[in-house]
Structure 1
Amino acid sequence: MTSPLAPLVAPGPPLTPGQVDRYARHLALAQVGEVGQRRLLAARVLVLGAGGLGSPALLYLAAAGVGTIGVVDDDVVEASNLQRQVVHDLAAVGRPKVVSAAERLRGLNPDVEVRTHALRLTAHNADELLRGYDLVVDGTDNFATRYLVNDTCARLGLPWVWGSVLRGHAQVSVFWAAAPGGGVDLRDVFGEPPAPGTVPSCAEDGVLGAVCAAAGAAMAVEAVKLVCGTGRTLLGRVAVLDAFDATWREVPVRPQPARRTPPPPEGSVDVVTDPRPDSARTDSARTDTPGTPAGELTPAGLRDLLAARDAGAADVDVVDVREPGETAAGTLPGARLVPLGAWADGSALTGLDPDRTLVLVCRSGMRSGRAAAYARAAGVRDVRNLDGGLVAWAREVDPGLVVP
């Protein structure tokens, strides 16, 4: 796209004196101005993920005066997040990310209404959730969710801003299948998602924290441009950052209709998106229920496995990878505590029996998914991750278990 798109959002009410003062630097910009600021205050932007990319995007969208910001994340803050997830602080460790992020945004700008969605984005809830917003900013870290977002936005006619980071590299773009004059979407660039386990995650290969800041800020800029209808967006282009080489380059994107997969009719999808990093999923482990991702264990499947263990019919090692403070309210019967940091530094892998079934659990299944990747890399043959974590276990099997 070589010319600005039409504004996504109609202007809201006139600015108050306090807002004129707060947004004075925007009002001085011809590309935003008073009308553009009123559009921002009327806008509804959904940010998926309050992590490395979501953190800077959320902060700058709130500071810019986006009137309604939705935050979707079902994870809790970990100490290892603080190197790059700047919307959180040390006091937030162990707390839900959406709660931590909402408090920070409300403290930054009282003009902003923050809506928290402490849930996993799935094919069952994506349409209902996304259709309540004008624009989606995707800061998630796995391919399944990205393609779900793409196909849902295509079905609903929504634009979305995409970003990705790994090591010292980042990519940012705008996808909008229904854009005036013709659009592009994620499948025009990447076709189908890669096979599980073929792309490393940040947990395996690392990421420079400031690269997340650069990419997240660029995503916020794209969101502002789309809302205000100003500037040249990244629709039809992918911006690629090599931070260690200090270069940005541009890759053009053209529509590839043959690559696009028409989304199924609304209500016909029965697939749950796995929000864990791509490297935490593998086809080498067994599935327990049709439709459950390989290596994932449903709460019902775990209940049966624990019953077999207690009857002496299965050799199972159950490990809770949460931090000690999170397990004070309880955990699974017979589970031992080995926090995620011990899996990352390798100390948890010493002495593991490669032939024994290893079941890993945490609050939501995200951290245990990462620990599972470490265990598989160390040669443990049968690694299971509790799908949905202890939250799902408490909901479906043991309502008496308190999960903070």
Structure 2
Amino acid sequence: MNGELSRDELVRYGRHVSIPEVGLEGQRRLRASSVLIVGAGGLGSPAALYLAAAGVGRLGLVDHDRVELSNLQRQVLHDTGAVGTPKLDSARARLEGLNPHVEIETFETRLDSGNALEILDEWDFVVDGSDNFPTRYLVNDACVMLGTPFAYGAILRFEGQASVFAAPGGPCYRCLFRDPPPPDLVPNCAEAGVLGVLPGIVGSIQANEAIKWLAGIGDTLAGRLLLIDALRMEFRSLAIPPDPECVVCGPEPSVTELIDYERFCGGPQEGGATEDGDRSAQTEGAMDELDIDVHELKRRIDAGEPFQLIDVREDYEWAICNLEDIGARLVPLATLPEAVDGLDPSTPLIIHCRSGPRGDRAVAYLRAVGLERAVNLAGGILAWAEEIDPDMPQY
């Protein structure tokens, strides 16, 4: 492929070329670049469409699934006629129809420790559109080892996250989530649902990050985590510093080759986001025996009743806002099994997260291991901020 754009390409990409920050040079860079997309589903669909439309010269797709009717609510690469066929067949036809100048390469296989380094090698950028923890940690570790940056995305219900990991000098996914939570504590999209347009938003952000990186323009999300709340239409960006003790990208890594990620993550999972989805704050008196609302918690505080308050969010969320002043203790969901022995089964145990779903999972787990007085704070710390402490920061 020579360096000059054809007349057709000049017309096709004219709106890019007319942007001073992109111009002919930026468009040539895109044409000479390559992106591998892991997953041709909810996130991979918009990412692939926009990267192909943008004129990235070579696109790779990794997927081993077939199109299902339930996919079509959000996986816009595919249509009704493709139901039952391999996703990669549908994706190739759509992308080649969108832009015949883009070379499409497909890998109809499940990404694993045995093939990841070979498949991910020799791509300029990776878009992680996976929906499960084993693949997410696998992509991260492989990209760190190969020195290839990747755009991360995750979705559940109304909420999403995006970032760029494994960029030079920046953090990797394990700097943010060192260990995965136990699989029985994690809701998946089939159970919890996902707003159909949300993967379009997050996948487009991933494509945007890839385009900026390849064209050498703007500031990427490397070193930042973008939090998206589609229900409230709010965006928040948080700094993510590299972890000097990271087992993969730290100065003295202990993980120097790919591992058994299914075993590391506790077995195969169909879902994959630890992020909360939305759970609207419920009214007082409407809770079941597994929940209490924020007004009941406030009553117990005012009455001086004993209880244990456990926050199962992540460190970065605790830094934004927390209930430490009323005795909350941070135990990230992934570490909950390690903390069980330190919990008093005779004292009421109140679990909270941001808005509810992680707390539900934590309560189910705790009751299963014998802590029958565990309940979830319905609506989480978001409900506390909205109904009890309006001065508390929200995110």
Question: Whole-Å Cα distance in 2 between the matches of residues 162 and 104 of structure 1?
Answer: 23
The answer to whether 1:204 aligns with 2:197 is no
Question: Whole-Å Cα distance in 2 between the matches of residues 214 and 25 of structure 1?
Answer: 21
Match of 2:57 in 1: 67
Question: Whole-Å Cα distance in 1 between the matches of residues 207 and 122 of structure 2?
Answer: 19
Question: Whole-Å Cα distance in 1 between the matches of residues 156 and 259 of structure 2?
Answer: 31
Contact 2:31–2:56, Cα closer than 8 Å, also in 1: yes
How big is the shift at 1:271? Answer: 5.7
Residues 219-263 of structure 1, C-alpha deviation per residue, up to 9 Å, x if partnerless? 100000000110010000011110010111111100112133436
Contact 1:12–1:39, Cα closer than 8 Å, also in 2: no
The answer to whether 1:242 aligns with 2:229 is yes
The answer to whether 1:101 aligns with 2:94 is no
Contact 1:23–1:64, Cα closer than 8 Å, also in 2: yes
Equivalent positions of 1:205-244 (< 5 A) are 205-244=192-231
Question: Whole-Å Cα distance in 2 between the matches of residues 263 and 95 of structure 1?
Answer: 41
Match of 2:333 in 1: none
Q: 2:47 aligns with which of 57, 62, 72?
A: 57
The 3-state SS of whatever aligns with 2:235 is strand
Question: Whole-Å Cα distance in 2 between the matches of residues 260 and 247 of structure 1?
Answer: 33
Question: Whole-Å Cα distance in 2 between the matches of residues 44 and 275 of structure 1?
Answer: 30
Identity %: 50
Question: Whole-Å Cα distance in 1 between the matches of residues 262 and 157 of structure 2?
Answer: 28
The answer to whether 1:161 aligns with 2:154 is no
How big is the shift at 1:276? Answer: 4.0
Match of 1:124 in 2: 114
Match of 1:30 in 2: 20
Question: Whole-Å Cα distance in 2 between the matches of residues 161 and 263 of structure 1?
Answer: 24
Question: Whole-Å Cα distance in 2 between the matches of residues 81 and 24 of structure 1?
Answer: 33
TM-score after normalising by structure 1: 0.63
Computed over aligned residues only, the root mean square deviation of the Cα atoms, in angstroms, reads 2.2
After superposition, the Cα gap between the structure-2 partners of 1:17 and 1:272, relative to the gap in structure 1 and judged at 3 Å, is same
How big is the shift at 1:132? Answer: 2.5
Question: Whole-Å Cα distance in 2 between the matches of residues 38 and 275 of structure 1?
Answer: 41
Match of 1:355 in 2: none
The 3-state SS of whatever aligns with 1:251 is strand
The 3-state SS of whatever aligns with 2:191 is helix
Question: Whole-Å Cα distance in 1 between the matches of residues 91 and 184 of structure 2?
Answer: 30
Residues 329-364 of structure 1, C-alpha deviation per residue, up to 9 Å, x if partnerless? xxxxxxxxxxxxxxxxxxxxxxxxxxxxxxxxxxxx
After superposition, the Cα gap between the structure-2 partners of 1:263 and 1:123, relative to the gap in structure 1 and judged at 3 Å, is farther
The 3-state SS of whatever aligns with 1:110 is coil
Contact 2:135–2:261, Cα closer than 8 Å, also in 1: no
After superposition, the Cα gap between the structure-2 partners of 1:127 and 1:256, relative to the gap in structure 1 and judged at 3 Å, is same
Residues 102-145 of structure 1, C-alpha deviation per residue, up to 9 Å, x if partnerless? 11000000001111100000001011111121110000001111
After superposition, the Cα gap between the structure-2 partners of 1:276 and 1:93, relative to the gap in structure 1 and judged at 3 Å, is farther
Question: Whole-Å Cα distance in 1 between the matches of residues 166 and 13 of structure 2?
Answer: 29
Contact 1:124–1:272, Cα closer than 8 Å, also in 2: no
Unaligned runs of 5+ in 1: 1-10, 280-376, 378-404
Question: Whole-Å Cα distance in 2 between the matches of residues 122 and 239 of structure 1?
Answer: 27
After superposition, the Cα gap between the structure-2 partners of 1:164 and 1:198, relative to the gap in structure 1 and judged at 3 Å, is same
How big is the shift at 1:277? Answer: 1.5
Match of 1:47 in 2: 37
Amino acid at match of 2:146: L
